[in-house]
Chains A and B, each alone.
Chain A
Amino acid sequence: MAYSIDERAMMDSIIKRYPRSRSAVMPLLHYVQSLAGYVNNEGIELIAKLLSLEAAEVSAVASFYTQYKRTPVGEYHVGVCTNTLCAVMGGDAIFAGLKEHLGVENDGVTSDGKVSLEHIECNAACDYAPVVMANWEFYDNQTVQSAKDLVDSMRTAHPIPPTRGPNTLVTWKEASAVLAGINDGKAHEGIQAGAPTLLGLKISKEGK
């Protein structure tokens, strides 16, 4: 796969964000992931070339971080939090339910390429437990059934939107571009906070 002039220009602009070019490794990995859907060898080799590194140094970084995938994932990558609190609150049941429902194991991808599944660690939304992430957007207070409905909706073209996120669920590649620091213009979409976030404020305003 050859990179277009625009893509190369984007990579140059990512490198220019930093005082030292090597810092651009991570956003560039997010970026090549946004193009190919995963971190492929072409991406690693180009990043190495752009930053005057050995490919080994780039792949060493890629393998350290769980969000960089070295094989393709689904168009919608679903993560079920099974860290203690979410697991206890239902995450284990949700994860088991989804595995069975999708017919895949951890890190598996459905045969239509639409959905991949991973059990994830704490995603900083414990007051919304149990939490499911899709392309790293929040789906709060999930149940086994709501999670099944979510993945079903992904496989029929109109995914259910995130609870706290943009109006529509973007694809894995689009989300990866956001993580590369590219503004997709959707920051204003969705709510500013869910009810648990506002609970203390609400109580305070009630005078307690």
Chain B
Amino acid sequence: MTKLVPVLSAHWDEKDSFTIEAYTRHGGYKASQKALAMEPDAVIQLVKDSGLRGRGGAGFPTGMKWGFIPQGDNKEHYLVVNADESEPGTCKDTPLLMANPHVLIEGCIIAAHAIRAKTAFIYIRGEVTHVVRRVNQAIEDAYKAGHLGKGIEIVLHVGAGAYICGEETALLDSLEGFRGQPRLRPPFPAIAGLYAMPTVVNNVESIASVPAIVLNGAEWYQSMGTEKSKGTTLYSLSGHVKNPGQFEAPLGITLRELLELAGGVREGHRLKFWTPGGSSTPIFTDAHLDVPLDYEGVAAAGSMLGTKALQIFDETTSIVRAVLRWTEFYKHESCGKCTPCREGTWWLVQILRDLDAGVGTEEDLNKLLDICDNIAGRSFCALADGAVAPIISSLKYFRQEYLDQLANKGPLFDPEESTLFAPSKAGV
């Protein structure tokens, strides 16, 4: 049984955990002091050695990303923190920032020092007013305490409702005051990012993981997790589980273990399907309970670790309805730049609405898959790949349910039964 290891979340249960006093009380801003005394390259090496990988979904090694920034180029460098947490199911950065914004600020100081940036931007999604308050206050307090303003500045930038801005180049365009549409790559942000200057874009959790690595060393971090997926991370369990919530564990824990900690699937029900890392990662079923939840393990099982957003759905949930709703999300959030995503999501939603209403034939399922094939890997960015992931994976595991729904000429499930406030089925 894998044990939980609260590092990021270690002091969240203190009432004033978000204040600079609480953070300092637990050794906050010591890591940045230590890092600032190191050569920037040594900090990069340390992070490389730790094995930390991006926690925003792609899992790219963080230290390597920092190492791509050209050195001695006499250009302004920028650090940009991606706090645009919007992937359906993903809910880790938001509570982290609510409970402990200073760990991100300290991480920013260290990362900015390492990549020789004088300015860091925190791009936070706009739909979380109180998180904005907490981060803004924390920045103010860090300035007052002298952690900021002595060579490293942080600017808070608040989004305004666009999932696509979680894509790093769209985020940069948004930060530059444009419509948040992805940019052509190359050039990659490390060469020409914000204001066409070398830029590192990192997820909140990635940057927040850095202070502990600096304080405790690469070996400590390396000692946790699996062979290629080091350290601890936040797993977010939601949906039809008895006790949903955040679980910080070494990489490689399984859903079976996590479910046990969370008290299991909703009482009286059984697991039907789940997402390992948000809605853009192909779904899993109860056949995947023992897949190690690290980058390699999930990939080997045909999905992606993503943001470790484990959305649990029990047998009361209609797969068609779930997939339709996700598809509607992607249609709503498609930026419109490229044809496959813009037009494809428009079409997919119409087909899935029919299927959800029980209208169509088996041939429509084949058509659906073929349209997905014309969208996946054909679009400008990965949003459309994410959009077809639930469709393709659901047809892989639940094709019969689609057919049953068509045979039934209508929904097979009562939506009320899957709600939180449904009459309890315990003991039935």
A and B touch in the complex (CB under 8 A): yes
Contact in complex: A88, B313 (CB < 8 Å): yes
Whether B244 sits at the interface, judged by CB under 8 Å, is: yes
Contact in complex: B12, A129 (CB < 8 Å): no
Contact in complex: B5, A204 (CB < 8 Å): yes
Whether B177 sits at the interface, judged by CB under 8 Å, is: yes
Contact in complex: A197, B95 (CB < 8 Å): yes
Question: Which stretch of A108-116, A149-157, A181-189 is in the interface?
Answer: A181-189
For B164, give the chain A residue with the smallest CB separation: A64
Whether B261 sits at the interface, judged by CB under 8 Å, is: yes
For A17, give the chain B residue with the smallest CB separation: B155
A30 to B175, CA, bound (A): 14
Contact in complex: B248, A127 (CB < 8 Å): no
Q: Which of B245, B279, B313 has the most chain A CB atoms inside 10 A of its CB?
A: B245
**With A122-B89, A124-B90, A126-B89 in contact, is A23–B177 under 8 Å at CB?**
yes
Q: Which B residues lie within 8 Å of A186 (CB)?
A: 133
Contact in complex: B3, A208 (CB < 8 Å): yes
**With A84-B88, A180-B158 in contact, is A200–B325 under 8 Å at CB?**
no
For A20, give the chain B residue with the smallest CB separation: B195
Question: Which stretch of B104-112, B289-297, B416-424 is in the interface?
Answer: B416-424
For B179, give the chain A residue with the smallest CB separation: A64
Contact in complex: B420, A130 (CB < 8 Å): yes
**With A129-B238, A193-B95 in contact, is A65–B162 under 8 Å at CB?**
yes
Q: How many residues of chain B are within 8 Å of chain A by beta carbon?
A: 92
Q: Which A residues lie within 8 Å of B65 (CB)?
A: none
> Among A51, A165, A197, A205, which residue has its beta carbon within 8 angstroms of that of B177?
A51
Contact in complex: B246, A30 (CB < 8 Å): no
Chain A proximity of B151: nearest CB distance (Å): 15
Q: Which B residues lie within 8 Å of A136 (CB)?
A: 126-129
Chain B proximity of A121: nearest CB distance (Å): 5
Whether B45 sits at the interface, judged by CB under 8 Å, is: no
Whether B94 sits at the interface, judged by CB under 8 Å, is: yes
For A166, give the chain B residue with the smallest CB separation: B130
Whether B317 sits at the interface, judged by CB under 8 Å, is: yes
Whether B19 sits at the interface, judged by CB under 8 Å, is: yes
Whether A4 sits at the interface, judged by CB under 8 Å, is: no
Contact in complex: A66, B160 (CB < 8 Å): yes
Q: Which A residues lie within 8 Å of B237 (CB)?
A: 127
For B332, give the chain A residue with the smallest CB separation: A121
Whether B379 sits at the interface, judged by CB under 8 Å, is: no
Q: Which of A125, A127, A135, A164 has the most chain B CB atoms inside 10 A of its CB?
A: A127
**With A137-B129, A178-B129 in contact, is A126–B243 under 8 Å at CB?**
no
Contact in complex: A192, B98 (CB < 8 Å): yes
**With A89-B418, A124-B125, A201-B248 in contact, is A196–B158 under 8 Å at CB?**
no
**With A122-B89, A122-B90, A187-B133 in contact, is A195–B245 under 8 Å at CB?**
yes
Contact in complex: A187, B329 (CB < 8 Å): no
Whether A138 sits at the interface, judged by CB under 8 Å, is: yes
Q: Which A residues lie within 8 Å of B156 (CB)?
A: 181
For B89, give the chain A residue with the smallest CB separation: A126
Chain A proximity of B389: nearest CB distance (Å): 13
Q: Hey, what's the 0/1 contact readout for B2-40 against A, CB within 8 Å counting as 1?
A: 011110011011111111000000000000000000000
Whether A13 sits at the interface, judged by CB under 8 Å, is: no
A27 to B89, CA, bound (A): 27
Q: Hey, what's the 0/1 contact readout for B66-101 against A, CB within 8 Å counting as 1?
A: 000000000010000000011111110111001100
For A199, give the chain B residue with the smallest CB separation: B245
A190 to B244, CA, bound (A): 21
Q: Which B residues lie within 8 Å of A60 (CB)?
A: 179
A195 to B245, CA, bound (A): 8
Q: Which B residues lie within 8 Å of A90 (CB)?
A: 419-421
Q: Which B residues lie within 8 Å of A130 (CB)?
A: 419-420
A196 to B116, CA, bound (A): 38
Contact in complex: B14, A88 (CB < 8 Å): no
The 7 closest A-B pairs by CB, nearest first: A199-B245, A187-B137, A196-B245, A65-B160, A126-B238, A200-B247, A66-B161
Q: Which residues of B contact A (CB under 8 A)?
A: 3-6, 9-10, 12-19, 76, 85-91, 93-95, 98-99, 119, 125-130, 132-134, 136-138, 140, 155-163, 174-180, 195, 235-240, 243-249, 261-262, 279, 309, 311, 313, 317, 321-322, 325-326, 329, 332-333, 335, 415-416, 418-421
Known: A67-B160, A89-B420, A165-B129. 5 other contacts (CB 8 A): A22-B176, A23-B157, A84-B322, A126-B89, A208-B261
Residue pairs across A and B with Cβ atoms less than 8 A apart, 7 shown, are: A64-B162, A88-B317, A93-B415, A125-B91, A183-B137, A186-B133, A198-B12
